[in-house]
Amino acid sequence: MADGTSAATKRQEGQVPDIVIGRLPLYLRTLILLEKEGKEVTSSQELGKQLGISSAQIRKDLSHFGEFGKQGTGYAVSYLKGQLKEILNLDEVWSVALIGFGDLGHALVHYNRFSERRFNIELIFDADPDKIGHVINGIIIQNAEKIEEIIKAKGIKIAILAVPIEVAQTVTDKLVNAGVRAILNYAPITLKNIPQDVKVQTIDPIAHLQKMTYYLG
């Protein structure tokens, strides 16, 4: 990094607000699109226009990690993309455990954008005896009772939770005990007793729809 402090160090010291980290993937996605369009150089103004974020906010966000461009010349798209991937730890392929193989779990397994973005669903768990043992995309569906044992043995740090609301907390406790440190939660529930070093991101489509219907009245 330009300021001599690694992104990992800043994460450990809690120097970067979580809301800033949440915007970095948006910047990365936009840079990837710009690169596909053949753009070699961009600016905070151009990024802001595409994302609906002020150019000042973008510059402030990036300044947490160093200096990536020069005033008047902008950012080299390829370079900034590479730096953001490094900051977000996307230089490696991440193994992911999927918990729950219902309709949503089935769709997630077949969603190829995960592998394109270096997230590989390696394990699938379900509690239904009729599903356990079946092979999906080369992955054997495992018994949910073995979540802690298998995930701990594999050293997997990321899990996707696609289970019914009534078992979501119990499964989460098992994931935490197994050493999982990042959980993408599709169950419409606020998970409790989450250690500080475990990150949870909840995706609730109904809540987002309800937010939007406010503006339709």
Q: For residue range 138-154, what is the model confidence (pLDDT) as tens digits?
A: 999 999 999 999 999 99
Query: 124 in a domain, yes or no?
Result: yes
Mark whether 75 and 40 lie in a shared domain: yes
pTM, two decimal places: 0.86
User: Nearest to residue 139, comparing CAs of 165, 108, 173?
Assistant: 108
What is the number of other CB atoms lying within 10 angstroms of the CB of residue 118? 13
Burial level of 198, CB count in 10 A (0-12/13-18/19+)? middle
Q: For residue range 47-72, what is the model confidence (pLDDT) as tens digits?
A: 999 999 999 999 999 999 988 876 66
Mark whether 102 and 177 lie in a shared domain: yes
Q: How many domains does the chain have?
A: 2
| Domain residue limits at 58 | 7-87
Q: CATH number, domain at 59?
A: 1.10.10.10
Mark whether 18 and 80 lie in a shared domain: yes
Model confidence at 180, in pLDDT bands (50, 70, 90)? very high
At 71 the pLDDT is 67
Query: 66 in a domain, yes or no?
Result: yes
210 Cβ neighbours under 8 A, 6+ residues apart: none
